[in-house]
Structure 1
Amino acid sequence: MALYALKRLLNAIPILFGITVVIFIIIHMAPGGPLSALAEDPTIKAADIENMKKAYGLDQPLTVQYWQWISGMVRGDFGTSFLKNESVTHVIWDRLPNTLLLTVTSFILSMLIAFPIGILCALRPNSKLDQFVSGLTFTGMSIPSFFLAILLMMLFAVKLGWLPSGGLKTINAPFSMMDRIKHLIMPITTMAIVEVAIWTRYIRSSMLEVINQDYMRTAKAKGLFDSRVFTVHGLRNAMIPLATLFGLNLSGFFGGALIIETIFSIPGMGRLFTEAAFQRDYPVLFAITTIVSFLYVLGSLVADMSYAILDPRVGLSKKEGG
């Protein structure tokens, strides 16, 4: 298992390298540049702009710029933010806790809701409960997250005034845990509703497929379909495809946070990415897109390892196949 994990990590290196090349080219192909806004300012001289280009290395060929960036990234140095004139690593570490708080909390909440509901619907297929939950999940999956966020904001912040409309704390107010919770209710609920709808469908389908297997029907016919059979054989096998989906959706959590953080004005990585995109802050864009790409590759590795742990036959076949 350890050897297989090492092989997967080594195979991921050229993939990550190719991703960084594509990211670098696409960002530089975008119209304008990091200093284009300064060029339109009549108070800034052309000589000053040239000096800034030299200071940030923007006067170098793209190949040289890429090498400087990738060599620094390997050392953990993502460069200096054009917009904030700070280390990109420091800027990201300053925003990362807020994004983790939002994504991890919403994911845990969605799992606590989706798992029991999905399993219950699988145990009672086509029942009134199953039909009702199916209608809710299809509705939740069809509503865009930004539209749902705006609806919640209009209802609970504008009309009812129960919750703050954005941010993480009340301006000019001392820190309060209750105040922080109030600011997080709507963004976490928005992300959780979408995740609950998606994962309930996944869990129901996976569990229903396992329950309809011959060995499960045989156990049920013999009167052996108790909690132990359900947990050891049913739930364990149903987790195999879910582990793959979880790994592949690892980077998607941050993608969903991008929209939510922007709407609710939460100072996280998603909002930082949006600000960097509008301001052409290349180092920040490179850093965030690279981190998300790394999470996607890491998620794929986690999915494979989870698959092998849950189903020993998969691990054996992968070892034999190299």
Structure 2
Amino acid sequence: MQRKTRVIQKILKKVAGFVIAMVCLSIIVFYFSRLAPGDPLQSFYGDAVESMSTQELLAAKERLGLDDPIHIQYAKWISNTFHGDFGMSLKYKIPAMEVVSPLIGNTLILGGISYLVVFFLAIFLAICCALNEDSLFDRIICKVGTAAYYIPTFWLGVVLVLVFSINLNWLPSSGAYDFGKSGDVLNRLQHLVLPLAVMVLSHLWYYAYMFRNKLLDEFRRDYILLAKTKGLAKVEIIFKHCLRNIAPTIISIMAISTTHIVSGTYIAEAVFNYPGIGALSVESAKYHDYNLLLLLVLITGALVIISSMIAQSINEVIDPRMKELEAVTWRKRTKTSS
């Protein structure tokens, strides 16, 4: 019964934390976007704004709900969001959700595959380097990885397009698929190769080097000496002891890195003209499309917060120390309340 109560309290606490974080994020973005210089009417009416009279401008602002004080605008917006209405896109003149819906899948595909490939390869490289510390293989990988990490993403993307799209004509240089082939999986994969390559080359070694050092630090701990005296091989020690003990750290880093991967995805979308919410975010900020920008920021924020919560939950399952600490904290709270 106590365990069930503790689980319910934990879930409620996470939900409350998520809601509070999203509300705070929405307030910050809402106020800053509206206080930033620029005329949102230009996005909606285009060049016609220049020929409008003062009365017409006031009427236009009233029609779009831009004449109220910012706190009133926010109150109306937050009220509408509970009914699934995130406002109208000023540039596209349709509901913001309708603009985002067709593109969010493309970003999730590119970002999700990049995320999995980067961390799978990072852990693999880290293990290989830790098993061959200070060897020729380890030194070459360290130098090549460091050089690749410091290559500018935009420049790397241009080079890949020049080589594989223009000169060799092997791969498409832009888009998520060819016209009329949105359901062709092979065609989508071909369009993913270059953006995925840029994402992996830009992020891989940063995490591989971090995991390598964590493994080596763990390998130098005192309990490893005992394992060595028992005759355990280095491979067995790395996999059975070191990797298992740093697993919570790896998961935490993977959760924190969500923002890093998401930002990299947005850059890759801009370089390869890949239709996703990253390119749309830049466009919405450029044209002062408040409602669209706010929705995109909230989607990104929700993704980051949820990934952090999932990582924390996984760590609580695989790390007995966190379970024990949680149980002790809960017992103290129970005694205090009673």
- What is the TM-score of this pair, normalised by structure 2? 0.86
- Please state if 1:283 is matched with 2:283: no
Give, in whole Å, the separation in 2 of the partners of 1:31 and 1:43.
17
What is the CA–CA distance in structure 1 between the aligned matches of 2:150 and 2:263, rounded to whole Å? 17
Q: What SS is found at the alignment partner of 1:41?
A: helix
Quick check: 1:168 aligned with 2:157? Answer: no
**1:90-129 mapped onto 2 (5 Å cutoff):** 90-129=98-137
* Residue of structure 2 equivalent to 1:254: 262
| Residue 23, structure 1, aligned to residue 29, structure 2 | yes
- Shift of residue 96, structure 1, vs aligned partner: 0.7
Aligned partner (choices 190, 210, 216) of residue 218 of structure 2? 210
Q: Which residue of structure 2 lines up, in the alignment, with residue 185 of structure 1?
A: 193
CA distance in structure 2 between the partners assigned to 1:255 and 1:167 by the alignment = 18
Letter in 1 for 2:296: I
CA gap 1:8/1:225 in 2 versus in 1, 3 angstroms: farther
1:243-296 CA-partner distances (Å, limit 9, x unpaired) = 111111223332212111111111111011111111111001111112222223
Residue 33 of structure 1 corresponds to 39
1:239 aligns to what? Answer: 247
Partner of 2:305: 297
Q: Quick one: structure 1 residues 262 and 16, their matched pair in 2 at CA, closer, same or farther if it must change by over 3 Å?
A: same
Q: Is the 8 A contact 1:168 1:266 kept in 2?
A: yes
Q: How big is the alpha-carbon RMSD for the aligned residues of Structure 1 and Structure 2?
A: 2.4
Contact 2:316 2:323 in 1 (8 A): yes
Q: Which residue of 2 aligns with 1:131?
A: 139
- The verdict on how the C-alpha distance between 1:299 and 1:308 changes in structure 2, with shifts beyond 3 A counting, is same
Contact between 1:39 and 1:49, CA under 8 Å: does it hold in 2? no
Q: Answer with 126-135 or 178-187: which moved more.
A: 178-187
Q: Structure 1 stretch 151-160 or stretch 266-275: which is displaced more?
A: 151-160
TM-fit CA distance, 1:226: 7.3
TM-score norm. by structure 1 comes to 0.90
How far apart, CA to CA, are the structure 1 residues paired with 2:98 and 2:174? 24
Amino acid at match of 2:143: G
One of 308, 317, 320 as aligned partner of 1:309: 317
Structure-1 separation of matches of 2:264 and 2:56: 39
Identity, in percent, stands at: 27
**Distance change >3 Å, CA 245–CA 260, structure 1 → 2:** same
- Which structure 2 residue ranges, 5 or more long, are not aligned? 1-5, 331-338
Q: How many residue pairs were aligned?
A: 322
Given that residues 248 and 303 in structure 1 are in contact (C-alpha distance below 8 angstroms), is that contact kept between their aligned partners in structure 2?
A: no
